[in-house]
Amino acid sequence: MIGLYYGGNMTQGKLLDFLADLGISMSAGYLSNLFIKNHFLFETEKKEVYDSGLASSPWQHFDQTGARVGGVNHTTNIICNPLYTVYFTTANKDRLTVLKGLQPGRELKFILNPLTFSLIQDFKIPTKWQNVLKLLPQGTVLSEAQFNHLLNNDLPKLGSQQQTRIKEAAAIAFYHQQTDCPVVQTLCCDDAPQFKLITAERALCWVHEGRHYKKLSPVFACHQVILGQFIEDFWDYYRELLAYKDAPSPEAALLLKSKFRLLFETPSGYELLDERKQLTATKVSELLRVLEHPELPLHNNPAELAARTMVQRRNISYATQTIEGTRAWDTFMPLVATTRQLGISFFDYVRDRISQLRVIPSLSTIDISENTQSLCIVKF
């Protein structure tokens, strides 16, 4: 039943009909309990996959999609690379949520250190508040409750948005100095603000960037021709980047940087297109991260396709109604995705675990040693 429900995307109603056709009488409540209760072993393996997946590569895909829990809007977060996929559902989709996703099973911690103040400057916190923060304990690791107490006591007039930015800076600073879990070096994602400044580097998705140009709707025929030609040039350049990944060299990298400037900084005569091109040009370092690290992907399709899988699941079963049901989805959907990525039948995997045969080894160990070399970042 678990294989059909989670792996086959069948609804509980259809499964009840299926069981009835087999002559098996079962209540809806009993069937629901089979799917969401007493799955400690699967939860443990999902956690092992999560930890092992984060450790398998210095770069990770990240995306988010909407979810409903008990009629309330939530967010399903997706972290993945070619070896695994993990989902986790949260009430928010902010920068602190992303940080929690990069430190699974751990509470957020906060610290005031030089990186904190560097980030605070990037967040444009007024100097007067920065000076007050410098008087607070430096280098001390604090829980969220302790850090909130510190800010409320010493900076009582701090605005809510400024307080959030300071908390984000302190949480990011702690993440980069902690040693309990691997620190992701590069996040492959779209340009949503919650993904900024968390990792040392960010590689933006070219497919996502290309969608901005598809949204343009020129009225005049001459502008339509200009836009059509630009979109062709855009994807021609994308294909050149793909070719570069197979045969990187300093000379090719310099040529591609020059072509980027030519493509996005040359006026076209279509004002809306030129405005959009200027926005793309400001992201040059993040869009051309692949020139430094040829092993990085040029798009975030794996995370976006994983998000689509959860959307399909949501459309079929509408939504979860309880936290327990949400946790079950967040447990089994990663196992469905990861088994398929590793070339394992999810049905065989579930049968193996329920029967306690353990013929299939832990998912967190399968092929990890063979595949990590292709995922490692080596600066070119």
pLDDT, tens digit, for every residue of 65-79?
999 999 999 999 999
| 146 and 84 within one domain | no
| 88 and 139 within one domain | no
| 90 and 10 within one domain | yes
Q: Give yes or no for a contact between 101 and 62, defined as CB atoms under 8 angstroms apart.
A: yes
161: in domain: yes
Per-residue pLDDT tens over the stretch 125-175:
999 999 999 999 999 999 999 999 999 999 999 999 999 999 999 999 999
223: in domain: yes
What's the mean per-residue pLDDT of the chain? 92
188: in domain: no
Three-state DSSP state, 141: coil
193: in domain: no
| 99 and 26 within one domain | yes
- Asked if the model's pLDDT at residue 328 lies above 60, the reply is yes
**Average pLDDT over every residue of 17-33:** 90
Most confident of 154-163, 227-236, 318-327: 227-236
190: in domain: no
The residue from 144, 162, 179 where one domain ends is 179
| 281 and 314 within one domain | no
The residue from 179, 197, 217 where one domain ends is 179
Pairing relationship of beta strands 201-204 and 186-189 according to DSSP bridges: parallel
- DSSP structural state of residue 198: S
**Average pLDDT over every residue of 56-85:** 95
Q: Give yes or no for a contact between 285 and 204, defined as CB atoms under 8 angstroms apart.
A: no
| 136 and 88 within one domain | no
Report H helices in the chain.
2, 12-21, 28-36, 40-55, 95-102, 114-122, 127-133, 144-154, 160-177, 206-214, 221-246, 250-265, 271-281, 284-287, 301-317, 323-341, 346-354, 368-371
What percent of the chain clears pLDDT 90, i.e. is strictly above it?
A: 83
| 276 and 351 within one domain | no
Cα distance between residue 306 and residue 330, in whole Å: 12
The residue from 226, 257, 291 where one domain ends is 291
Cα distance between residue 141 and residue 143, in whole Å: 7
184: in domain: no
| 91 and 9 within one domain | yes
Pairing relationship of beta strands 59-69 and 186-189 according to DSSP bridges: parallel
| 82 and 17 within one domain | yes
pLDDT at res. 375: 56
Structural domain harbouring 80: 2-104+300-375
Q: What is the DSSP string of 301-346?
A: HHHHHHHHHHHHHHHHH--B-SHHHHHHHHHHHHHHHHHHHTT--H
Q: What angle do CA 186, 191, 193 make, to 5 degrees?
A: 95
- Asked if the model's pLDDT at residue 379 lies above 50, the reply is no
187: in domain: no
Q: Give yes or no for a contact between 102 and 88, defined as CB atoms under 8 angstroms apart.
A: no
The answer to which of 12-21, 100-109, 364-373 has the lowest mean pLDDT is 364-373
Q: Give the model's confidence band at 363: pLDDT under 50 very low, under 70 low, under 90 confident, else very high.
A: very high
195: in domain: no
Cα distance between residue 30 and residue 23, in whole Å: 16
Sign of CA dihedral 234, 239, 240, 244: positive
| 11 and 36 within one domain | yes
Hey, what amino acid is at 368?
A: I
Q: Cβ atoms within 10 A of the Cβ of 211, count? A: 10
Backbone phi and psi for residue 85, each to the nearest 5 degrees, phi listed first: -145, 135
Cα distance between residue 134 and residue 117, in whole Å: 9
Residue among 117, 103, 249 at smallest CA distance from 181: 103
Tally of domains within the chain: 3
Q: What is the CA radius of gyration of the chain?
A: 24
| 118 and 97 within one domain | no
Which of residues 315 and 336 earns the better pLDDT score?
A: 336
The answer to which of 61-75, 76-90, 310-324 has the lowest mean pLDDT is 310-324
- Asked if the model's pLDDT at residue 373 lies above 70, the reply is no
| 113 and 94 within one domain | no
Query: Crossing angle of helices 346-354/40-55, nearest 10°?
Result: 130
- What is the maximal distance between C-alpha atoms in the chain? 74
